[in-house]
Structure formats: C-alpha cells, structure tokens
Amino acid sequence: MKIVVLDGYTENPGDLSWEGFEALGEVKVYDRTPLNEPQTIIERIADAGAVITNKTPVSKETLAACPGVKYIGVLATGYNVVDVIAAKERGIPVCNIPTYGTAIVGQFAIALLLEICHHIGHHDRAVHEGRWQECPDFCFWDYPLIELADKTLGIVGFGRIGQTTGKIAKAMGMNVIAYDEMENDAGRAIAPYVSLDALYEKSDVIALHCPLFPSTQGMINKNSIAKMKDGVIILNNSRGPLVVEQDLADALNSGKVYAAGLDVVSTEPIRADNPLLKAKNCFITPHISWAAKESRQRLMNIAVDGLKAFIAGKPINVVNP
C-alpha cells in the first residue's frame, strides 16, 4: 500500500520518525501541500491507498479523481477538512485522533493565564535590557500582578481537557465551576456544574474548552460579555470561532475584559486585519497548545495504530461509520 502524508511538517518537523507508517507500506511525506490547489492534491494522492492529512482538504471532487484511496487518516481531532459523507459513499473510513493532547492543552491554558497574571516575558526582557540594573529599588513591575488563589475559574466545556484545566486551577487554590451540556460524575468530582449565565456572572476567569458547533460559534460576543464581571479574563485554546473577535477587541479596549489569552483565532494563520492584534492586553500564541513533542509522539502512535487496525479489517476512531 502506498501511504501519502499531505502535510506532515507541523506533526513532525524533524524530531519524530515516520517509521511506524514505513513498516506498513511505501511512504511519501510532503511537508506541506497548497490548500487551494486541488489539482496538486489530486496529483499527490492519485496512486495512494492511504491518505494522511492534517489541514489539507480532501473534497468530494478529489476523491472522485482518486479511486484508489481506501483510507483517510486525519492527524488531528477535528476532521472538517475531509468530505466525510463523500468518503462514506465510497466506502472509505475517515479516522481521526480523538485523544492525544489532554495534558498539554490543559497545561497551556494555565500557562496563558499565568502570563497574564505575571507578564513574565515582558519582565524578563526588561531585565535583559538593563532596567533592573538601573533600578533604584530592589524590584520593579510594569503591570499589576494577580494572585489567583480564591478567584473563580469558570470552564465552558468540561470534558477531558476542561477537567484537566480544572484540576490544575484547584491545585493553585482557585474555585472552579463548570458548564457543559453533558454533565457527568467525573466532572462533578472536580467542580459543580452551573448554568452558562451563572458561569458568566460568577467567574473571574473564563476558559473555553468546548467544541465548535452551531450552538457554540460566536458564544463569546457583546451580549455574553455584558453578563460577565468587569475585569474578567478570557482564555481560549479550543476553537477560534467560539469568539466574535471584534466584540472581544472592543471589550478589551474598553476595560470590560481585563485580558485575553488566545491560542486560536477565527482564521489561521492570523490575518493582518484581525482586530485582536491591536487590542489591549491580548496575548496571542500561534495554535501551539497541542504541539509538545510528547503529545505529537502520542498522536503519531495513534495514527499508526489507526492504519494498522484498518489493514487488519478492524478500523478504529472512524468518524463516518
């Protein structure tokens, strides 16, 4: 079987190995494939039996032009880049990676929060620029420093990642409340569930860990922000379109929202005209919550296991059964 990886660089920029796939067939790895060049995509997978993609789209038209494709593996949890209905019509299982970054994504959410509270990067640069050497006092700070103990963290989306974030926050002395459409005992053991409006009203910090559905798209907007405490902190390392970005930028600039820590935005890479780039107290990282080597290795292992299972006739993590 020929296995084609359409965009392998972000998963493996050189610190991992493709040997797991190489043991299963002939492997061709492309670091990147142009997203808006369907003919290039077709040419690259024309003779493939298995296609591995992260963000490169695999459309109905592409599948029609590549009848040899029998398997599609997605190097991510989200699989909207693949026309799963068209794949199912052709008997092609589409398999994703449902769980691989729970620990690191929860850790990263807290890292965003701690940077907002302490501005460590800024103060490190200030020291290296010589400002501490010239300071008449034994210390200085340029921003308010925030203690998190006894403050309330509201988590929207209390699945595995949300619960991980909640556990870390509780270890720092925070009070944690949660909202999720599907409550469960594992969540109740960590924090009480409340209504979404109650979470908005009571939280000093709000962390988004929910999937992107029609019901959650744009959930952080001027109306929901109006229900929040003055000076709330908002964290999002889940999905960019959960936030109406102009509304959040306006709230940051007015001071209604004290700060935001974001690892995702609505269009990625970020556009130069994104209003959050010029908003006050907005910390933005380039969608890297998931990218620790440990979690990428875990993702690689699961992806290889998925193809092995398909070859054995027992596919796993199928999103279009």
- Asked about 239 being catalytic, the answer comes back as yes
- Asked about 268 being catalytic, the answer comes back as yes
> What's the CA gap between 74 and 94, in Å, rounded?
7
Q: Which of 90, 118, 160, 287 is catalytic?
A: 287
Q: How many residues belong to the chain?
A: 321
Contact 116, 146 (CB under 8 A): yes
Helix, strand, or coil (residue 155): strand
Q: Which of 44, 239, 296, 298 is catalytic?
A: 239
Contact 48, 4 (CB under 8 A): yes
Backbone phi and psi for residue 60, each to the nearest 5 degrees, phi listed first? -60, -45
Angle, alpha carbons 277-280-286 (nearest 5°): 35
Which strands, in side-by-side order, build the sheet including 152-156?
Answer: 175-179, 152-156, 205-208, 232-236, 257-262, 282-284
- Asked about 294 being catalytic, the answer comes back as no
Q: What is the number of other CB atoms lying within 10 angstroms of the CB of residue 130?
A: 9
Q: Which of 37, 61, 268, 294 is catalytic?
A: 268
Of 169, 171, 151, the closest CA to residue 161 belongs to 169
Q: Give the DSSP per-residue string, 78-91.
A: --TTB-HHHHHHTT
Of 224, 237, 223, 229, the closest CA to residue 283 belongs to 237
User: What does the DSSP 8-state code read for residue 144?
Assistant: -
Write the CB contacts of 132 (distance below 8 Å, at least 6 apart in sequence). 126, 140
Catalytic positions are: 239, 268, 287
